[in-house]
Amino acid sequence: MRSELDEKVKSGMEVGGYRIDRKLGQGGFGGVYLAWRDGRPSALKFIHLESVGDWGWRELFVMLPQQSAHVVKLRGHLRWPEEQPEYLVLVMEYVPGMTLYGWAREHNPCAREVVEKLLPLVRSLRGLHAQGVFHRDLKGDNVLVRETDGAPVLVDFGAGSSPLVPRVTKGVLPPASLYYRSPESLAFSRLEGRVPGARYRYAETDEVYALGVLLYVLLTDVYPFTGPDAALVEGILAGAPTPPHERNFRVPKTLSHLCMRMLAREPGERVPGMEALCEELAVLLQEAREAPGWERPLCFDWMEEERTTEDFLPEGGEIDPEAWLAKWKDKKPRRGRRPMAVPARSHRERRVLPALVALGALGLGVVAVMYPWAREGELEAPPAWEVAWTDQDGMAVAGPGAPPALSPNQKRAPCTAGLELEINGGCWLSIVHTTPACPPQTVAYEGRCLVRVAKPQPVPMSVDAGGPSSPP
């Protein structure tokens, strides 16, 4: 669905002397576009002045003094259109590359590589905190891995704070994703949320906690706490996540213990700040260079035969959730480049090709008679083992050795542990039937009858902080 901004900012047009190339993404406070000027690329962030108000100017002043190689640089700003300005446009350096989480999924790093990515990021945060600046929205999607040198770069200071800019947050808590909120911030919101004028005092320990969640995801590919918002809040407040090395036995215990200390329920038991975290990560990096166990990829790749979260649900009988989770905790999702699946073929091919294969058994003469008819539909019979079966919607079900294809509205991983299966990056339910007698609208794969899990409806990802809504 195109936004009002997409209708106004189009490829090829000029904005303040910058030629728009394409849209890079959409954030909570504005859209970001790749643009060129004098042969140099820049990232232009359009922030709607009327709906966002002072938040855009806050982001400008928070970014203005930053000079770290691992923090996105601000090059300038302008108001657009010039005649009747509707948007504040931040001109930033363009950082080609994928997000930190995307890098982990694509690259399947070892524990040493995770620490090497985290350490320069922590050093940059140490410099920001020395200036009294907090990012307040730390997560893997707000860290880019630069394509040219693999360096992590912190981006999106839309929720940032600085002692040099006035406070504009209207709610108890600053805007942030619920997954990364500290237990003490949620406890404050619960106790003081209805008190007029109550404001949570964000601290460095909150930033340490958010970074701990980020590290946990890099090590295990799941959040420390999951579920609907209410259950997620209760889990964070209880503060007892499964240690990373128990969820994923490839995680070194020393790194797992550090992650757990970053996620400690009580701020006083947490790593006190970025300075101490830098020192501990530097020690672990030295350990990593001397211990071969740190070089093993953290997750199975897609070509390994060992079982992961794609485990079998028992057919019939009741599931013991505790026993199921105890078995699952040592399983890991897959990362790395996916193998190429056999493409789906049309319904016409599905009808013609099996006929050709069957008639081939009767003799080449019959096939020769049928050949012109096959060519008339521009079909060319492949070897029988390359034919991909399709379901009633024309989606690929499974070729020999190929996983079933995903539908556009299907839920993607991570899947619900103990209930859904993750296959080919999507979520499936296994029903109590055995192949080949699978019911209609199901997929037969590896001796199971599978049903696609539909994408869930969008749910709020952050506690209402009274901040501005997304620009139109």
- CATH of residue 174: 1.10.510.10
* 411 annotated ligand binder: no
**Does residue 438 lie within any of the structural domains?**
yes
- What is the band of 60 on the pLDDT scale with cuts at 50, 70, 90? confident
Q: What does each C-alpha distance from 317 to 83, 152, 230, 418, 430 come to in angstroms?
A: 70, 48, 30, 14, 14
Q: Where does the pLDDT of residue 320 fall: very low under 50, low under 70, confident under 90, or very high at 90 and above?
A: low
Q: Which amino acid is at 280?
A: E
Last residue of a domain, one of 26, 61, 93: 93
Distance, CA of 257 to CA of 183 (rounded, Å): 19
Shared domain for 337 and 260, answered yes or no, is: no
Considering the domain architecture, whether residues 287 and 398 belong to the same structural domain is answered as no
- Percentage, residues of the chain above pLDDT 90: 47
335 pLDDT tier (thresholds 50, 70, 90): confident
pLDDT mean over 319-347: 56
Q: What is the pLDDT of residue 321?
A: 56
Given a contact cutoff of 8 angstroms between Cβ atoms, the answer to whether 146 and 96 are in contact is yes
Helices (H), 26-110: 49-52, 54-63, 100-107
Which class for 188: exposed (0-12), middle (13-18), buried (19 or more C-beta within 10 A)?
middle
DSSP string spanning 207-246? HHHHHHHHHHHHHHSS-SS-SSHHHHHHHHHHT-PPPHHH
Give the confidence band of 2 by pLDDT, cuts at 50, 70, 90. low
Asked if the model's pLDDT at residue 395 lies above 50, the reply is no
Who has greater pLDDT, 195 or 383?
A: 195
222 within 8 A of 108, measured Cβ to Cβ: no
Average pLDDT of span 268-295: 94
81 and 165 part of one domain: no
Are 279 and 308 part of one and the same domain? no
Question: Is 378 domain-assigned?
Answer: no
**Cβ partners under 8 Å of residue 305, min gap 6:** none
Residue 352: DSSP 8-state:
H
Tokens of 274: 């970025």
Q: Which of 34, 60, 93 marks a domain boundary? A: 93
Residues 150 and 292 in one domain: yes
CB count in 10 Å sphere of residue 305: 5
The answer on 120 and 201 residing in a single domain is yes
Domains in the chain, number: 3
Alpha helices in 44-182 (DSSP H): 49-52, 54-63, 100-107, 111-130
Looking at the domain assignment, is residue 405 inside a domain?
yes
**For tokens 């699978």, what's the residue?**
438
More confident residue, 107 or 337: 107
Q: For 289, list phi and psi in degrees, rounded to 5.
A: -75, -10
Same domain, 75 and 209: no
Range of the domain at 115: 97-298
Is 228 inside any structural domain? yes
Of the candidates 126, 151, 128, the residue with the CA atom closest to the CA atom of residue 69? 151
Number of helical H runs and strand E runs in the chain: 14, 17
Residue 275 buriedness (CB in 10 A; 0-12 / 13-18 / 19+): middle
**45 within domain boundaries:** yes
> Which of helix, strand or coil describes residue 426?
strand
Distance CA 308, CA 252 (A): 19
The C-alpha angle with vertex 471 and arms to 469 and 472, in degrees rounded to 5, equals: 120
- Give the mean pLDDT of the chain: 78
Q: Can you read off the two tokens belonging to residue 22?
A: 């394409």
Report the DSSP pairing between strands 143-146 and 426-431: unpaired
State whether 408 and 283 are in the same domain. Answer: no
Return the minimum-mean-pLDDT range out of 99-113, 228-242, 340-354, 450-464: 340-354
CA 164 from chain centre, in angstroms, equals 32
Q: Cα–Cα distance between 75 and 94 in angstroms, integer? A: 10
Most confidently modeled range among 36-40, 174-178, 366-370: 36-40
Q: Would the pLDDT of 351 be above 60?
A: no
- Give dist(CA 186, CA 233) in Å, integer: 7
Q: Is residue 372 part of a domain?
A: no
How many Cβ atoms sit within 10 Å of the Cβ of residue 308? 16
pLDDT at residue 325 in the model: 52
Q: Residues 143, 27: one domain?
A: no
237 lies in the same domain as 271: yes
Amino acid at 422: E
Domain-ending residue, one of 267, 298, 329: 298
Question: How confident is the model at residue 231, as a pLDDT?
Answer: 93
Q: Are residues 80 and 101 in the same domain?
A: no
Domain match, 24 and 82 both? yes
pLDDT attached to residue 357 = 41
